[in-house]
Amino acid sequence: MARNAREQSQRIALCGLLVSLMLVLGYIETLIPVPTAVPGIKLGLSNGVLLFALYLLDIPTAFVLMILKVGLSGLLFGGVSAMMYAFAGGLVSMAAMSLLSKVKGVHPITVSMVGGVGHNIGQVGLAMLMLHTAQLMYYMAILMLVGLGTGAVTGVVANSVLTHMKKMQHKK
């Protein structure tokens, strides 16, 4: 019982760390210049953190972390509209990633790439709904391609962290 409580508080502390890590990464992202010709491009570094949570914690926890990240960064940096679009993107991305992460033999980097694509589908999809226009399809395709690339980058980072974390866990 005591051990259980200890594990639980470790878990809560870890979740708090992960959320704050995502918030900091989200802020750092705004400092990285992106090409203005394609609005809406960002690295999505917190995607890597969510991938990490998906593999080392569990799916519901990862979803809660995503919601916390979106809500808090919306209050801190963005605004209500930014929060809405980030939430739509996060939801689609997390749904895709949690499904794929359960499939045997799928590499975390692949999961991350699909997550990056999913994020942009969610965001631009919501924009198309809000603006009542299907004209953004071409733009969505470009963002999806970008998401594939940035998903690969964050996937590589998260994957190397994951392999080391697994080694540490085995040593315990």
The contact set with another protein (CB under 8 A) reads 36-40, 78-79, 81-82, 85, 100, 103-107, 109-110, 113-114, 117, 127, 130-142, 144-145, 148
Q: Sign of the CA dihedral 112, 114, 151, 67?
A: negative
Strand, helix or coil for residue 85: helix
Nearest Cα to Cα of residue 22 among 158, 166, 168, 162 = 158
> Minimal distance in Å, beta carbon 48 to another protein?
18
Q: Which is nearer to another protein, 43 or 65 (CB)?
A: 43
CA–CA distance, 82 with 125 (Å, rounded to integer):
14
> Minimal distance in Å, beta carbon 47 to another protein?
15
Q: Are 66 and 50 in contact (CB under 8 A)?
A: yes
Q: Which is nearer to another protein, 18 or 157 (CB)?
A: 157
Distances (CA, A) of 110 to 16, 83, 104: 26, 26, 12
Which pair of tokens denotes residue 84? 């809405």
Q: Which is nearer to another protein, 14 or 125 (CB)?
A: 125
> Minimal distance in Å, beta carbon 133 to another protein?
5
Q: Which is nearer to another protein, 114 or 157 (CB)?
A: 114
> Minimal distance in Å, beta carbon 33 to another protein?
11
Q: Sign of the CA dihedral 128, 134, 136, 140?
A: positive
CA–CA distance, 157 with 43 (Å, rounded to integer):
12
Q: Which is nearer to another protein, 12 or 38 (CB)?
A: 38
> Minimal distance in Å, beta carbon 53 to another protein?
21
